[in-house]
Amino acid sequence: MNNDIERVLYSKDDINRRMDELANQLTAEYKDQRPLIVSVMTGAVLFTVDMIKRMDIMAKLDFIDVSSYYGGTSSTGKVKLVQDLKSDVRGRSILIMEDIVDTGHTLKYLIDLLKERGAKSVKVCTLLDKPEGRQVEVKADYVGFNVPNEFLVGYGLDYQGYYRNLPYVGILKPAVYEKD
Ligand SMILES: O=P(O)(O)OC[C@H]1O[C@H](OP(=O)(O)OP(=O)(O)O)[C@H](O)[C@@H]1O
Ligand code: HPA
């Protein structure tokens, strides 16, 4: 295990098992809808790639890059659109793929944006949900795991750009960010 990790919350096997279950649910829901899957860069890319391979549906994939943490462990609350989608979302069923919903600022920004642009429906699948972190009211439709109010890394989640490639989700030792 990486030395900066205090405790592993979800192992690679835990994540794989939960993704099998979620993908079955999503396959049933989206069988006849040809959704546009919107993956939120950068954190959700690992989860998205592993999920779509498990989903037996016709779907398109696009990416949007938004950022609000700018290197620290707390949200600025200001969501910046770094790179937009290539697709027109008007009239489409959208499935947002996220790695984590924490304060909710990112998700609220995205849902509002996609609805404003005329999406037919917007639903959300997130690997992790941190309900105690919430600052704005927003809900994910499909949740892998509810997590405690700790700063997590791994499986896409980062601290200052690092740890995304850990194959598990773990709690980052506070000593790592307290010194910054
Ligand atoms: O609910 P919130 O408090 O808004 O946090 C959730 C968002 O924060 C992280 O993204 P970040 O802005 O760090 O960008 P990244 O995906 O490139 O790491 C994460 O990937 C989510 O998109
Ligand atoms: O706990 C977290 N870890 C990494 N990135 C995050 N973005 C929101 N919450 C988190």
pLDDT score of 1? 83
Question: Which pTM does this prediction carry?
Answer: 0.97
The pair of structure tokens assigned to 164 is 């995304």
Q: Which fold has domain 12-147?
A: Rossmann fold (3.40.50)
pLDDT reported for residue 114 = 98
Instruction: Compute the distance from residue 150 Cα to the ligand 2 centre, in Å.
Output: 9
Alpha-carbon distance values, 80 to 94, 121, 124, 129, 144 (Å): 21, 23, 19, 21, 26
Distance 103 CA to ligand 2 centre (A): 9
Res. 153: pLDDT tops 90 = yes
Residue ranges around ligand 1 (CB below 6 Å): 40-44, 67-69, 75, 98-107, 158
Mutate to test the pocket of ligand 1, among 38, 46, 81, 100 (most ligand atoms within 8 A of CB): 100
- The residues annotated with a catalytic role in the active site are 102
Res. 166: pLDDT tops 80: yes
Residues 104-136 have pLDDT tens digits of 999 999 999 999 999 999 999 999 999 999 999
pLDDT of residue 5: 97
Q: Name the token pair of 96.
A: 């947002």
Q: What is the pLDDT of residue 10?
A: 98
Residue-wise pLDDT tens digits, 53-100 = 999 999 999 999 999 877 778 888 999 999 999 999 999 999 999 999
pLDDT(180) > 80: no
Instruction: Tell me the pLDDT of the chain averaged across its residues.
Output: 96
Of the pLDDT bands very low, low, confident and very high (cuts 50, 70, 90), residue 12 is very high
- Report the 10 Å Cβ neighbour count for 92: 21
Q: What is the helix, strand, coil percentage profile of the chain, to 5?
A: 25, 30, 40
- Tell whether the model's pLDDT for residue 179 goes beyond 90: no
According to the model, what pLDDT value does residue 71 have? 73
Which percentage of the chain shows pLDDT scores above 70? 100
